[in-house]
Amino acid sequence: MTTDEFAALEKEWAGIVERRDAEAARAFLADDFVLSSTGGVGPSVPKDEWLAALDEIETRSLEPRDVDARVFGDVAVVSARLRWDATLRDQDPTGDYAVTDVFTRRGDRWLASWRISVRLP
């Protein structure tokens, strides 16, 4: 896959979050998905917890940019910057984030397995 194709996957993921689409998220994320973040949902959030929190996040916009990707066989590492405008429960996680996403190929699909997200100052 090309960087542009991974950029399209990042946009797809952003749309899932904006729509709070748990069904699409369940299919997009690998069963062993983990979110590791600072300034966002939580420090280490497995798939089931992330899916449960999805409905509590009011995302006004989530815009990926500066996407770059490297493919290593059935594993891809994608770096990007995200601009997130959102409310999570009583928190305001709005800001810019540097993310590294690890995708794993399952058959003909790429699934998100790990997101490392750091809120930028």
Domains present along the chain, CATH in parentheses: 3-119 (3.10.450.50)
- Phi, psi angle pair for 82, to nearest 5°: -120, 140
pLDDT in tens, the chain (121 residues): 899 999 999 999 999 999 999 999 999 999 999 999 986 667 899 999 999 999 999 999 999 999 999 999 999 999 999 999 999 888 888 999 999 999 999 999 999 999 999 999 9
Residue 27, Ramachandran bin (φ over 0: left; ψ between -120 and 50: alpha; else beta): alpha
**Please, which residues have CB within 8 angstroms of residue 37's CB and are 6 or more apart in sequence?**
43, 45, 97, 115, 116, 117, 118, 119
Quote the pTM value.
0.92
Amino acid identity of 111? L
